[in-house]
Chains A and B, each alone.
Chain A
Amino acid sequence: MTFNKLVLSISTLMVASSAMAEMKAIDDFDLSEISGKGGVYLSGEFAINKDGGPLWDDPNEVSGFTPGSRPIFDGAGNIVGSEECENGICGLRLAIKLNENSEGWYVLDDVSGGMSFEGLTLQTETLTTATNYDVWVDGGFEEKAVDDEVLKIGLPGTITFNDFKFKFAVANNGEFGVPLQDGTAFRQTEIFGVQLDGDITVGGNLLLFPVD
């Protein structure tokens, strides 16, 4: 049986935060790869709920709470109170319930912030030689050389995180603030929070290719 998987090969990946010690520069071979030919050069920013989101930040949509706060409902669906979002910005909330019989939800809450970069390059090309990879064949791994179409992502050098943050929490309902059908009040326990600010340096190329 052939096991199908996506292989991510990082020919050279240098990661250094601005606070970390300088790392060795990439060598000439890899540098020539970065210069890129016949591809696309991307600059820009990805952001999640940088200015808040559509559900809890529009005072016209749900009455009874102010922008930057999230409503709490009683068992009858009435808003009984509100919880302020951090810095007045409500982030994205992703809630997952793994088991149908479980009562608890894993929550990534208040995800917001952005990351910006300049000079990410995207190219597809056929590489005749590259890093070997393992492939599952008849119950064991075999090593194969790449001779295939790859998507080459030239990493941009510096990626700047801007007030990127999220919280990991557990809750008794996926929808924030909504009590359970039996009237049990909504409860959420925040386990930890992460905030990311500043630059990280990522150089070199990321090769992405499918294998059978």
Chain B
Amino acid sequence: MKKTTLTLSALTLAIQAVSVSALEALDDESMANVSGQSGVTIELDPGQLDIGEISYSQDGVAANMRDININSGIGSASVTTIDIDSDGTLNLFNQLGAREFTVGGVGMTGTTGITNDFFSLRGATQAYSDGGTTGDLTDDTGVFRLNMGDDGNGNLAFDGSQVGLFFDGLHFGDDGMEWIIDDLAMSAIINYGRLIVNDGNVEFDFGTFDNRGLRLTYEAAAIGLSNDPNIAVGDYGDPNSAGYLLGDTFGSLSVDLEAYGTFTIEGGGADIGEGITFIPALTLINDDDDRPAFKYTDDGYVILARNFRGDFSTESGLTLDFEEDDANNPYLALRYEDLTFSFSLDDLILGDENGAALGSFRGQVLFQDGLVDGIERKNYLHLFPGGDIASADGSTQQGIRAQVGWNIVSAAPEAQDGETFTTPGSFAGKTAAESNTYFAMNDDGNWVYFNGFNGWGEGEVTLDLTSGPDMASLPSDYYANPYNSATGQFDANVGYDRENKVGTYDGLRIDFKDLRGEYSFSGVTVGTSEEEAMDSPYMGGTELLLAMEVFPSYSFTLNGNLTIAPGGQINSDGVGGTQGLTLNGDLRITDGDAAITVDEFGRGVWLTGVTYDLHMRGASIDVTEDGLTFNKGLTWSTIQVGQYNSATGEIEGGIIFGSREDGDNLGAFTLERLEDGTTISVASGGAGQVCIGGSLNAGGTDCAGAGRFEDRGEQGLTIKVKAKFAEAPTDVNDPNYYRYLGKGNRFSWTQTNGTTLTLDNFSTQDGPQGGNDYGLNIDLKLDVARTAVRASFIDEDGDGNTDNDFDGDGRPDLIDTNGQYIQESEIPERGPLGFAVFGRVHFKQLNIDGLKIAATPDSTPQTLISQIVVQNADIQANLTATPIR
């Protein structure tokens, strides 16, 4: 077979036809179809179409699709009607026939010929269907419609154009494994579109808020994985039935959005030479109450968002270049000096589709290249084809390797004249709302902003589809713990996925290689509107993120892997479930500095010199009636904060009080954990009626003492942590013997003088009968609400009584945010906005095998307390926190 290669640069496509069936003359019947009076109709049934390669190149580096095969033998011909309206508009209407297709590889080729693939493709599409509705284009599939005419202003108009496809199956392959989307419907409709050719660029105008140019829909019945590269494309059965060929899946997903704004394309990338610059100024929106913008379904429960709006904007644009690294490996480089993404959504529902909404959310991310301490912080994504892990026999290496860098910014907090508090800052010429990265939540009309986020990082992330060991005969090191309690050291040669061994799991493996990053929040601000929240003082509250294991401020280096497989671990019964995400992984954070609590100036309580070693087996993310639930499965971890150096007798790193750089050192600690079945769930629901300043009676009817009821409303956020600390059994026949072996729960604290306190082997238990189902529970209900703040005690006449007690209750009177006196009845309108936390810790039994003390970590410990048992605990804290000036 003769193989020719056509390679044209930049804007020229190179198509090499290896074998195309011969063209044939149209017969009389077909001719009759073509001869139509008001246009031309063409039927095309090419049979088997093979294309050797399609490539697009910039500066000698090419992106290519190779070994393309399209088979129309399974379906009907494509019917194309071409017509020209009386106003000169070209109407091209293509009703596609059903097709099967394969692409051997989608990858890149460098100047020296190095070629790697991102992935391969297989798929099957259905023939044209109008969805049973002739007037409604949104459900049309198997269609390509191009309406192109003059808009009367010298621009091209594309109004009424559309693309719609229905894939019976779409397979992305990686070294013999496939990521499969079942019954995927995709549609893009241009209601209003203009192509405007400017001096130096081409601009697509997709209208305005009142004239939205684009409608985009995406719907996938199921998303799964397969180890069988030969599985037939198309019909896999019913995703909700037992015989489904893809087995467990991630669940189903649908997206339905409109878009408007402009999208500009310029020639030339970030560097000298060829490239493309994209400048989006687009808004994605769905404000139709009847159509969710996003809907993810997992075993019948949903994550659903209505009334979504997202805005993208950039001044510098996004540049796309094809480049090579020093070893001539080709890659695709996406760069952006600045990019702003802001979003808002009402009615986020987690759990039951008809359940209560979580409230409204809003957020903004400001990417901006920067220079800090002489080090450039850039925003980029370099995509290398090939991934990290080759096929089992080493013959192919597909996958994605990404070098990524990001810099997310916020303006520095601004101090107010004569005051010690700060408010969110602003960049020159911009408002505070435009100058901060934040995440905000509305609760019964009040906003809470996790505000002033700054974060940057860079490193390498690879994506591969991998397969794991046979669960019936697991490798002996599958549950190995690299941390040795006796020596206090990590062993690099122990573990399933470690320095000199790659242990893989079934699923999409995300590998992190020296991913360095840091982030911080300035604090929390509250208000009834964005303006008020951006003008309010920074206060604490980011510490609440610790309940979800998110530090208010953190710098780290991340290595290790996380593998995501289809199928959850829990459903409404708390067990099983065929949909959701299963997680396995081995992660190691080193060189960590984390804040437990920190103010906007970086002063607080810091954990420095942190090593966090974490292993998960059978963890999952599921949506249940309890909301979004992270199930940690079997998780063992070691957090080492600072270390005692036996040679010098000094602590390196440790717990720092004050500034991270020069605060006081409180010593080092190590926390080892062994958890089996710990869950963290996030759901909607506020605290409702809350008794403040008094004590609620058992029936909840009376707020005794000097207290009063305040209504926190029904909206709000509920976080539930159910920690199950396990104890390693000594009986080798115990089913958990090997799963728990060499692990445990233990806390040790080494002071700066070497004195070491150890809390050994703590575990939860369901009481004397045994079992470990109830766990240690932390329930948090978070609300933002107006509350009462009393004025300071003033006693100018020295009689011992407060002088500002005008209502005669013996206490200073209530004040509003500006210090004006208010009545108790005015709290709902004028009371300062506060952050209300209802926290509850409850467990049935907690066992601790002793508290020991040693002169140094290396010396023999003495027992202070031999055993501790805590039973029947239900500790509640019901607090409102209000910023004060």
**A46 to B695 CA separation, bound complex (whole angstroms):** 9
Question: Hey, which bits of chain B sit against chain A, CB under 8 A?
Answer: 419-422, 537, 539-540, 599, 603-604, 657-659, 663-667, 691-696, 698, 704-707, 751-753, 766-769, 774, 787-790, 792-795, 798-800, 811, 834, 842-845, 850, 863-885
How near does chain A come to B756, taking the closest CB pair, in angstroms? 12
CA distance A90 to B845 in the complex (A): 14
Report, nearest first, the 7 A-B pairs whose CB atoms are least far apart: A53-B872, A38-B421, A174-B869, A162-B695, A44-B879, A35-B792, A118-B693
Q: Is the CB of B705 within 8 A of A42?
A: no
16 A/B residue pairs, CB under 8 Å, sorted by A: A34-B793, A42-B879, A42-B882, A43-B788, A44-B879, A45-B692, A46-B877, A52-B872, A94-B869, A95-B868, A96-B868, A97-B866, A102-B866, A149-B658, A158-B811, A175-B767
User: Is A166 an interface residue when CB atoms closer than 8 A count as contact?
Assistant: no
How far apart are the CA atoms of A43 and B693 in the complex, in Å? Answer: 6
Beyond A54-B844, A77-B768, 12 additional contacts (C-beta under 8 Å) are A3-B753, A4-B751, A31-B795, A45-B694, A46-B875, A46-B876, A49-B872, A53-B873, A54-B873, A100-B866, A160-B705, A174-B869
A55 touches B845 (CB 8 A): yes
- Let me know if A39 is at the binding interface, CB within 8 A: yes
Say yes or no for A145: interface residue by CB 8 A criterion. no
| Contacts A50-B698, A54-B874, A116-B705; A121 near B884 (Cβ below 8 A) | yes
**Interchain CB contact under 8 A, A4 and B753:** yes
Enumerate chain A interface residues (CB-CB to B < 8 A): 1-4, 22-26, 31, 34-57, 61-62, 73, 77, 89-100, 102, 105, 114-119, 121-122, 124-125, 148-149, 157-158, 160, 162-163, 174-178, 199, 203, 209-212
- Contact in complex: B871, A175 (CB < 8 Å): yes
Question: Are A176's CB and B871's CB within 8 A?
Answer: yes
Complexed CA–CA distance, A128 and B696 (Å): 42
Contact check: which of A53, A162, A212 meets B665 at CB < 8 Å? Answer: A212
Could you tell me if A37 and B874 are in contact, using CB atoms closer than 8 angstroms?
no
The reply to whether A203 and B793 form a contact with Cβ atoms under 8 Å apart is yes
When the two chains form their complex, are residues B875 and A37 in contact, meaning their CB atoms are under 8 A apart?
no
User: Complex: how many Å from CA A66 to CA B794?
Assistant: 52
Interface centre among B540, B693, B696, B706 (most CB of A within 10 A): B693
- The answer to whether A92 touches B873 (Cβ under 8 A) is yes
B811 near A97 with CB under 8 A, answer no
CA distance A160 to B658 in the complex (A): 32
Contacts of B753 in A (CB 8 A): 1-4
Task: Give the CA-CA distance A38 to B788 in the complex, in Å.
Answer: 17
- Set B603, B658, B880: member contacting A42, Cβ < 8 A: B880
When distances are taken between beta carbons in the complex, the residues of chain A under 8 Å from B884 are 36-41, 121
Complex CA gap A61/B845 in Å reads 13
Beta-carbon contact of A43 and B874 below 8 Å: no
Instruction: Give which listed residue, A90, A96, A209, contacts B865 with CB less than 8 A.
Output: A96
Q: How far is the CA of A199 from the CA of B706 in the complex (A)?
A: 10
- CA–CA, A94 to B865, complex, Å? 13
Q: Is the CB of B698 within 8 A of A51?
A: yes
Q: Which residues of A contact B871 (CB under 8 A)?
A: 53, 55, 92-93, 95, 175-176
Known A-B contacts A55-B767, A118-B790, A157-B811; the reply to A40 vs B872 at CB < 8 A is: no
In the assembled complex, the CB of B114 is this many whole angstroms from the nearest CB of chain A, namely: 56
Which residues of A are found within 8 Å of B603, using beta-carbon distances? 124, 149
Q: How far is the CB of B862 from chain A (nearest CB, A)?
A: 11
Given the complex of chains A and B, what is the CA–CA distance between A105 and B870 in angstroms? 12
In the bound complex, residues from chain B placing their C-beta under 8 Å from that of A115 are 695
Instruction: Please name all residues of chain A whose beta carbon is closer than 8 Å to the beta carbon of B874 when the two chains form the complex.
Output: 48-54, 92
Given contacts A93-B871, A177-B768, A211-B664, contact A160 B694 (CB under 8 A): yes
Which chain B positions have C-beta within 8 A of A4? 666-667, 751-753
Residue of B nearest to A71 (CB): B768
**In the complex, which residue of chain B has the Cβ closest to the Cβ of A117?**
B693
With known contacts A62-B767, A210-B666, A212-B664, A56–B695 Cβ distance under 8 A: no
> In whole Å, how far is A99's beta carbon from the nearest beta carbon of chain B?
6
Residue numbers in A under 8 Å from B663 (CB-CB): 149
Residues of B within 8 A of A44 (CB): 692-693, 877-880
From B420, B869, B871, B878, residue with most partner A Cβ within 10 Å: B871
Chain B positions within 8 Å of A42 at CB level:
879-882
> How far is it, in angstroms, between the C-alpha of A57 and the C-alpha of B616 when the chains are bound?
34
| C-alpha gap A37/B419 in the complex (Å) | 7
